[in-house]
Each structure stands twice: as structure tokens, then as C-alpha cells.
Amino acid sequence: MKTKTKEDEEEVKGFVTIYDFGGERVFYNTHHCFMSSNMVFVLVFDVDMCLDKDRSIAGYEIAEYWLKAIATYALDDETRSKGIPPIILIGSHLDKVSPNKTTQNKMFAKVLDNLQTKQQLRLIMEDHVQEMFAIANLNDSTANKDVYEALWQKIIEIAPLQSQWKRTVPARWIAMEHELIRLKNKGYTFF
């Protein structure tokens, strides 16, 4: 991705690594291999599920599980109070809640309020959540282009909240990363 941090700066090319976590319980044991405080978390949860009386408990439990899991990666009180690691919260399935945008936003706010009735979750959200987006038809890749643009902008804006931002790393690591990307682009697969 190309970006610039200041108005008068030249655009620079940056690499973004995206991990899409398997959300099902069976994958929970693998998450610690990938999760760290050096990430921007985009946490997507199903708002319609939280509002559906038959699935509501599970819906809230999933959001709660992830918020608590991410919060364990705050290194200490100081980094936590700075919002490290940062979270962007996304509510999906809003088309199923209502066709009306105002109602969708209202219901998203209601679910967020319900989540925050637990003090522990409220504190986690206050510390780590940097932005929230309510999205309808997330499954339709032709819709919501403006929201996705805003989401990328937000990710860039809060990237400095990653715990290792601007820390020096050995040049050999960068060289190795470039080599891995080169091989991947040539079609090699790694297991």
C-alpha cells in the first residue's frame, strides 16, 4: 500500500500483512501463534446474531471472547492507556437488522451498550477501540467501497499504536522478508 504521513512528504510503499483468524472455537488454540501487541485488530461481529433471541448469548460471547483475548496483549498499564494494541470494531449483518440506515445505527449502538454493561468489557473498549463501523451487506464485495476506504485510512492512522512501531529491526530480517515475498510471488507455497 502507498501512503504518506505528512502533506509535504513523498508517498512511500508499505507492506501490510493481513491475518484472517478462524473464528470457530476449534481454531482458538492456534490464535496465540499469530496474535501480538504489534498489530491493528479489526474485530468483526454479527450484530443481527446479538439481537436474535435464539442466538444472542452466543453472539455476545464471541465479541466478549475476542475483546478479552486482545486485551491480554496489552503489555502494561502505560501501553494499555495509550490504546496499544488498537482495535477497530465492525458490526456486520446490519442489512438483516433493518433496511433503514438510522435504525441500523441505533441497533448497533444498542448492542455496543449491552456489551459495555460488563465493566471489564467497557474498560477494554475504552482503552483499545479506536473506531467503530456498522456495515450492512458485508458479504457483497461491490457494496460499501466508501466504508472500506475509510477503514483503510483508519488502519493507517492508528498503525503507530502497534507496540513495535518505528523500533529498529535487524536488516537481515527485512532481507529475509523480501526474499519470502519474492518466492511467494513466484508461486512457491510455504507450510
Q: Which residues would be at the binding site for ligand GTP (CB under 6 A)?
A: 22-24, 92-93, 95-96, 135-139
In whole angstroms, give the CA distance from residue 82 to residue 63. Answer: 22
Other CB atoms closer than 10 Å to residue 135's CB: what's the count?
21
Residue closer to ligand GTP, measured from CB, 84 or 134: 134
* Least distance to ligand GTP, CB of residue 74, Å: 24
- Give the list of residues 6+ apart from residue 75 with CB closer than 8 angstroms, or none: 37, 84, 163
* Least distance to ligand GTP, CB of residue 68, Å: 17
Residue closer to ligand GTP, measured from CB, 24 or 146: 24
Q: Which amino acid is located at 177 in the chain?
A: E
* Least distance to ligand GTP, CB of residue 94, Å: 6
Residue closer to ligand GTP, measured from CB, 134 or 161: 134
* Least distance to ligand GTP, CB of residue 48, Å: 8
* Least distance to ligand GTP, CB of residue 191, Å: 20
Tally helices (H) and strands (E) across the chain: 9, 5
DSSP 27-55: GGGGHHHH--SSS-EEEEEEHHHHHSTTT
Task: Quote the Cα angle for 148-99-21, to 5°.
Answer: 40
Residue closer to ligand GTP, measured from CB, 60 or 127: 60
CB 84 within 8 A of CB 73: no
Give the residue nearest to ligand GTP (CB). Answer: 23
DSSP state for residue 4 in the 8-state scheme: -
Residue closer to ligand GTP, measured from CB, 43 or 84: 43
